[in-house]
Structure 1
Amino acid sequence: MTTQLINGLAVEIDGNGEALLCIHGLGGSSNTWTPLLAALSDFKVIRPDLPGSARSPLLAKPLTIEGYAASLEALLADLGVESVHVMAHSLGTVVAQHLAVRNPGKIKSLALFGPLVAPPEAARPNIMARAAAARGGAAGMQEIADAIVKGATSPETKAEQPAVLALVRESVMRQPPEGYAQSCEALAKAQSAEIERIGVPTLLVTGDQDGVAPPANVAAMATRITGSRQVVFDGCGHWTTFEKPQRCMQELEQFYASLR
């Protein structure tokens, strides 16, 4: 496992094989994917921290979905990657969809966890309010982290997996406040990609208690992406890779085996 700083992005790169780009969500980092690495041994796994998240500094311009996509395109170009599988979570799934539409022929597959095309209109003011709270510094980030642990994990996770609650809380609390605030603003302003143009194998995974990516919304996504497949995990909230890592790995192994 090696970490590099490439074009201002902190990137962990593991293994050999076909390239797999992993895009974390709001409040995440390269460690969003650490629980799944055992299922990805056939790939060259590229796990950046998005601009403004975790160890990667902010860009000169305010963060946007388009800016995230451009940063990842530049990263792949620097690494000499001409075609790539993409795995993403939450906010990262929006970026992944834009990448797939922007780069036809370069994206080989999509595995999207807690996926959404864009926030619903009713949610956008709350996301902007979270950005303002984040600018309150450490105290604001702690309040945000506690609210996310409470609202975005399942009752089963709360009752049975206290370490997962600590991991989610730590992931959010360790975010740079301004970077997290701008990430919230980027998500609040996000618009849907033309996902009907996505023509690659696509796996859509959500939890039965995921309020960000409810199964009904994900099912609607599946009807718009030709050949996609939806999977719903029981007893799972929005932090899919932390709450149900074994199920995630099983689905990924089946999905990637189907591509060979």
Structure 2
Amino acid sequence: MTLHWVDKVAVEDEGEGDAVVCVHGLGGSSNSFTALMPALAGQRVLRLDLPGSARSSAVSGVLSIARFAECVRTVCARLGITRAHLVGHSMGTIVCQHLAVETPKLVRCLALFGPLISPAEAARAAIRTRAGKARSEGPSGMQDIAQTLMNGATSADSRRRHPAVAAFVRESLMRQDPDGYARSCEALADAPAAAVEEIRAPVLLVTGDEDTVAPPQAVRAMAERLGGSAGVRTVVLNRCGHWTPIERPDECARELRDFLASVRS
């Protein structure tokens, strides 16, 4: 594996073959996709820490979905990638949708975990409040945020039977730079919806039956709006919350592997 720095953005570059670009969600990092790496064997996988997140927290300025999408385009251009499978989680799925609409020649397919087109109005307000808490309270605020999201965004089964899931979610959030996280929150709170009806690439949508961010009914409605794509597969995982690749890694890896095989065939 090679670690690149592209305009202060950390990019892990591993393997050879068809390009896969992984885009994490709010409070995530390249490690959000570690459990899916076995499903991506035989391919070249790029995993970014988005501007403002994890190792890329030193990036300054206002963050936005448009800036995240431009970051992905820049990384691909610098590293010689002209066409890629995009794998996203949560906020990262919004970024992937915008890329598929704005730069369709780059996108071979979309595999979206915990997908949403844009946050609901109530969620936008809550995310802005969270940004204020992170900025004003610093690390102690991030600890409170981590505990709240671990309890609210993972399933009861994950918390009870898989303590490593809770540990991962808490660690991912608690290790975020408070200001970078606050700016990322503001980017999500202001996220515009992509014109998903224009997406032509094949799409995989995976959510959990206990996902309150991307509930099954909303994901099914999203699938209907993607009717112009080359094909949409929707999967709802049992006893799973919003951190799908972490809570149900084996199922997510299987769905991803099968989906990419269908795209290549």
Q: What interval of TM-score do these two structures reach, taking the shorter chain for normalisation?
A: over 0.9
Q: Distance in 1 between matches of 2:88 and 2:4?
A: 20
Conserved in 1, the CA contact under 8 Å of 2:9 and 2:59?
no
1:217 aligns with 2:218: yes
One-letter code aligned to 2:201: V
Q: Distance in 1 between matches of 2:41 and 2:222?
A: 29
One-letter code aligned to 2:111: A
Q: Distance in 1 between matches of 2:56 and 2:93?
A: 19
- Give the alignment's TM-score, normalised by structure 1: 0.98
1:15 aligns with 2:19: no
Give per-residue Cα distances to partners, 1:110-148, cap 9 Å, x unaligned. 000000000001111110000001111110000000001
How far is the alpha carbon of 1:60 from its aligned partner?
A: 3.8
> Secondary structure at 1:69's aligned position in 2?
helix
One-letter code aligned to 2:222: M
For 1:234, which of 234, 238, 257 is the aligned residue? 238
1:251 aligns with 2:260: no
How far is the alpha carbon of 1:61 from its aligned partner?
A: 2.7
Give per-residue Cα distances to partners, 1:53-95, cap 9 Å, x unaligned. 0000344430000011111111110011111110000000000
1:174 aligns with 2:178: no
Which residues of structure 1 form unaligned runs of 5+?
none
One-letter code aligned to 2:154: T
Aligned to 2:24: 24
Conserved in 1, the CA contact under 8 Å of 2:10 and 2:55?
yes
Give per-residue Cα distances to partners, 1:173-229, cap 9 Å, x unaligned. 000000000000000001100000000110000000000000000001100113211
How far is the alpha carbon of 1:256 from its aligned partner?
A: 1.1
**212-221 or 51-60, which moves further after superposition?**
51-60
One-letter code aligned to 1:30: S
How far is the alpha carbon of 1:42 from its aligned partner?
A: 2.0
Aligned to 1:141: 142
Q: Distance in 1 between matches of 2:181 and 2:14?
A: 26
Which residues of structure 2 form unaligned runs of 5+?
none
Percent of counterpart pairs with the same letter? 52
Structure 1: which 4+ aligned runs deviate by more than 6 Å?
Answer: none
* 1:17-166 matched pairs, under 5 angstroms: 17-135=17-135, 136-166=137-167
One-letter code aligned to 1:24: H
> Secondary structure at 1:235's aligned position in 2?
coil
Root-mean-square deviation (CA, aligned residues, Å) is 0.8
One-letter code aligned to 2:243: W
One-letter code aligned to 2:4: Q
> Secondary structure at 2:25's aligned position in 1?
coil
Q: Distance in 1 between matches of 2:214 and 2:58?
A: 27
- Give the alignment's TM-score, normalised by structure 2: 0.96
How far is the alpha carbon of 1:8 from its aligned partner?
A: 1.3
One-letter code aligned to 1:26: L
